[in-house]
Structure 1
Amino acid sequence: MAANLLHPGPDGRRVYVALGDSFTEGVGDRSKHLPNGVRGWADRVAERLAKADPGWEYANLAIRSKRLRQIIGEQLEPALAMKPSLVTLYAGGNDLLDLGTDIEDLMDDYEVLVARLTASGATVVLFTGFDVKVSVLLEPFKRRNTLYNRRVRELADWYGAVLVDYWAFEAFQDPRMWDSDRLHMSKAGHKYLAAQVLDHLGVPHSISPKEWEPPAPLGFRDWERRQRRWVHDWVLPLFGRKLRGVTLGDQLTPRWPQPVRVPEKGGLKKLLA
């Protein structure tokens, strides 16, 4: 485990602010007891921070489907106003799936966001994007993802950010680490990622990776049935929303819009009891 990289913010408080889209909102890790019906790796990180070092506050401004410029326009200034000591950022994944995205322009905007966050004095955590092998339908986007990851690594080094190289985690080759849409992590995936973030920050925790027997091989009929169900349940609705110009996040608000004091015991659910 790395040496602890965390320190109080400029006013002595310990404030963790999570920024981004569905990846950070927690989609795939369902919880009927928490805002927006999800938990996610960021909540789990906040709870372990408070357990290891009581007094942490936490805000999560991430909303599913948000594009990079929306994250800059809607989340950056509120986050800086909270005077964070820790910021996690994943942004740009939805842009990579938009046909009209210019990757160079996207990464220029991404650098502006990273520069503003690191200039605040906070410890900033960045993520590469995973090469999700869900279908040949998404193979044309692979080059964009490769360019995105290269720039994220370069910017993390240049601005002194902590890099969680999500792309390199072999555990995510297991389909059970993914939700039924094959684009968002399952509960097991969120737990694994939370452990990785905590390890990179040098924060002690007891999250252990899921241990499974190897998945049973699928026969052609089962594979074909699952493919048809995936296309019907996820792919067609996704492209339908793109055609209508709507997203799943349009009616949602941030899960934790203002910093909340994370309970040392009982987790964030305790705040809603």
Structure 2
Amino acid sequence: MPDETEIPQPATLLPFRSYVALGDSFTEGLNDPGPDGGYAGWADRLARLLAEGRPKLDSGHYDFRYANLAVRGRLLDQIVAEQVPQVRRMEPDLVSFCAGGNDIIRPGSDPDLVAERFEAAAVRLRESAGRVLIFTGFDTRDTPVLKHLRGKIATYNAHLRAIADRNDLAVADAWALRSVRDRRAWSEDRLHLAPEGHQRIALLAARALGVRTAEDPEAPWPPAAVLSATEAARENLQWAREYLVPWVGRRLRGESSGDHVEPKRPDLAPL
């Protein structure tokens, strides 16, 4: 008869025992409140999914370690300088690398040049990590102001897919994820995901890694009320005052929302 004190083990053992997340506010998890008073986000949610596919140890922790080095506002070169070198020290089984979005939305940026720098960093990561996961950018066609950058984002995405093919990277295709086109996937600032949006990205990332999930990232949303043209215009004006103008102002002043912010999980630690 089995020992009644034995810790239940997962039916399907996942190969990832360690995971490091690199990036900016998207990966830090902004606007997804966590249980500790900070932010959770899709990377934390993905880490939990991966951990649950590993055995539990006598300590009660999963046989899985996770670090999140992402900091809001970071540009690609900052991520490469501050975060990428840490991967060589940690040598994780999996690293997610999402960078370049803050570069692309800046006036005068060249997605071709950003992609070249991204690939150089991805090659470095492949030398120190068992698997590298990247993300395409979101389709911004329904987002005020950012919809005018859709062509640049699409160009960058094309580069990212080619980079993934050349370097054997896993790709979570956020551009193709139709469910996050729904307004409810986004927080009030329309720049960062809401909790449900983060959950759908976590599921998308898991599936890109070949991990089965009970939930579907493309599950339909419940019916929503339709705003009139007047209500939509009023909502857009309020959003511009509360979020767009301060965001533009920070860029004009050369400030970043990530100034003086430290990574929330700087070292590989058990869940």
State whether structure 2 residue 269 is matched by structure 1 residue 260.
yes
Equivalent residues in 2 for 1:202-241 (5 A)? Answer: 202-207=210-215, 211-241=220-250
- C-alpha separation in 1, matches of 2:163 and 2:246: 35
| Counterpart among 113, 125, 133 of residue 141 in structure 2 | 133
- Unaligned segments of structure 2, at least 5 residues: 1-11, 55-61
Equivalent residues, number: 252
Can you list the C-alpha shifts for 1:229-264, whole angstroms capped at 9, x where unaligned?
1001110000110111111111210010001111xx
Amino acid at match of 1:60: N
The structure number with the bigger radius of gyration is: 2
Can you list the C-alpha shifts for 1:109-162, whole angstroms capped at 9, x where unaligned?
001011111122421111100112354523332221011000000011110011
- C-alpha separation in 2, matches of 1:232 and 1:206: 40
| Counterpart among 181, 188, 193 of residue 189 in structure 2 | 181
User: Greater relative contact order: 1 or 2 (C-alpha under 8 angstroms, separation 6 or more)?
Assistant: 1
Q: Could you tell me how far 1:224 is from its partner in structure 2?
A: 1.6
**CA separation of 1:150 and 1:7: change in aligned 2, threshold 3 A:** same
- C-alpha separation in 1, matches of 2:230 and 2:129: 55
**Of 64-73 and 50-59, the range deviating more from structure 2:** 50-59
Q: State the match for 2:46 in structure 1.
A: 45
Equivalent residues in 2 for 1:54-73 (5 A)? Answer: 54-73=62-81
Can you list the C-alpha shifts for 1:23-59, whole angstroms capped at 9, x where unaligned?
100012123615xx21001001111211111311000
Q: Could you tell me how far 1:177 is from its partner in structure 2?
A: 0.6
Percent of aligned positions with the same letter in both sequences?
A: 38
Q: State the match for 1:108 in structure 2.
A: 116
**Of 168-177 and 195-204, the range deviating more from structure 2:** 195-204
- C-alpha separation in 1, matches of 2:162 and 2:147: 24
State whether structure 2 residue 192 is matched by structure 1 residue 166.
no
**SS at 1:16 equivalent:** strand
Normalised by the length of structure 1, the TM-score is 0.87
Give me the CA root mean square deviation. 1.9
Amino acid at match of 2:25: S
- C-alpha separation in 2, matches of 1:155 and 1:5: 29
- C-alpha separation in 1, matches of 2:106 and 2:13: 35
- C-alpha separation in 2, matches of 1:142 and 1:45: 27
| Counterpart among 97, 105, 110 of residue 97 in structure 1 | 105
**CA separation of 1:155 and 1:82: change in aligned 2, threshold 3 A:** same
Amino acid at match of 2:28: E
| Counterpart among 114, 133, 158 of residue 150 in structure 1 | 158
**SS at 1:132 equivalent:** coil
Q: Could you tell me how far 1:225 is from its partner in structure 2?
A: 1.4
State whether structure 2 residue 27 is matched by structure 1 residue 19.
no
- C-alpha separation in 2, matches of 1:55 and 1:229: 47
Q: Could you tell me how far 1:185 is from its partner in structure 2?
A: 1.1
Normalised by the length of structure 2, the TM-score is 0.87
Structure 1 or 2: more helix by fraction = 1
Amino acid at match of 1:117: L
- C-alpha separation in 2, matches of 1:5 and 1:170: 30
